[in-house]
Amino acid sequence: MKLLTALLASIVLVSSVNAQKSTKKKATATSTVKAKNTSSKSKSTNTKKKDTAKKKNSSANSTVNRVQPATPSKNLKDNSATEAVKTSLPVIVKSKEINLKNDSLLAIGDTVINIKAVAAKQRAINENRSSFRRTLDAALESFMPFQFKYAILLNETVEKITNVILYKTIDDWYGTRYRYGGTTEKGIDCSAFMQVLASYSFGWLLPRTAREQYAATSKIPKNELQEGDFVFFNTTGGISHVGMYLHNDKFIHSSSSEGVSIGDLNSKYWSARFLGARRLNSGNTPAGNSVIDFKMPNIQ
């Protein structure tokens, strides 16, 4: 009986061991299958990424292939192309697009250029520029600084500022303060300053006061004013102020507010007080008889 019991126990033990081994095998098989599935999914993902990359590369390549290459420049040897040359030639052409070795005609896109004509035109322009520059340099050397100064103040070309003595005299006195009855560089009034300009710039002898200078000159139309003519104004009653006309409705005078300066006939103040334009009589006395000893301008 004991032997039978032990045998049954052994059978139960073996069955239990076999059941455990079977369970372990099933678990191992399951994990193996899961690992294979994971690997398969990973490979599938990589394959999809590669396919996507290939599609992108293929799309980029097709885009590049669709771009048309630029038409290269080429020389034309056909004589019929001469008729296609435009009459209005460009002055400047990029040097990399020109080949002067073979022919004088060059095609750039749809444009045909006569290179020799372009080069000749450019040479002519350069020569004209050089000639103009030489002329300008020579002209600039012949003018003095104060001529440029008054050309700017009068809004005039420097070529018209030709009376060197007149403008040098003006420049020597420019900015001198006004003083009623004054005749020196410490202060000068309007009529005395006209005596200075008339004496040393034109060789004229003028009377002392504005009223007397008005009487010694002849009336002219305002639109006939020239450099050296006189302009008279009523500032304090009657003929009380005088200036000398220069250019472009500008005149030089000794103003009570600004001293020796340039005025404008078109300004509101002076246009409202303008009395008339006058010119010195041709038979006036030479300046050598002037009773006032003015300082001569130093021309340098």
CB 216 within 8 A of CB 207: yes
Residue of 173, 196, 241, 246 with catalytic role: 241
Is 247 an annotated catalytic residue?
Answer: no
**C-alpha span between 230 and 239 (Å, rounded):** 12
Q: 251: part of which helix (H) or strand (E)?
A: strand 250-255
**C-alpha span between 175 and 255 (Å, rounded):** 10
Residue of 150, 253, 270, 287 with catalytic role: 253
Strand partners, 260: 254
Is 253 an annotated catalytic residue?
Answer: yes
Measured at the CA of 91, the angle between CA 126 and CA 129, to 5 degrees, comes to 20
Residues 6 or more apart whose Cβ sits within 8 Å of residue 123? none
Instruction: Please choose, from the candidates 224, 239, 219, 227, the residue with its C-alpha nearest in 3D space to the C-alpha of residue 279.
Output: 219
Residue of 118, 161, 190, 197 with catalytic role: 190
Residues 6 or more apart whose Cβ sits within 8 Å of residue 18? none
Q: Read off the tokens for 75.
A: 């020389």
Catalytic residues, which ones?
190, 241, 253
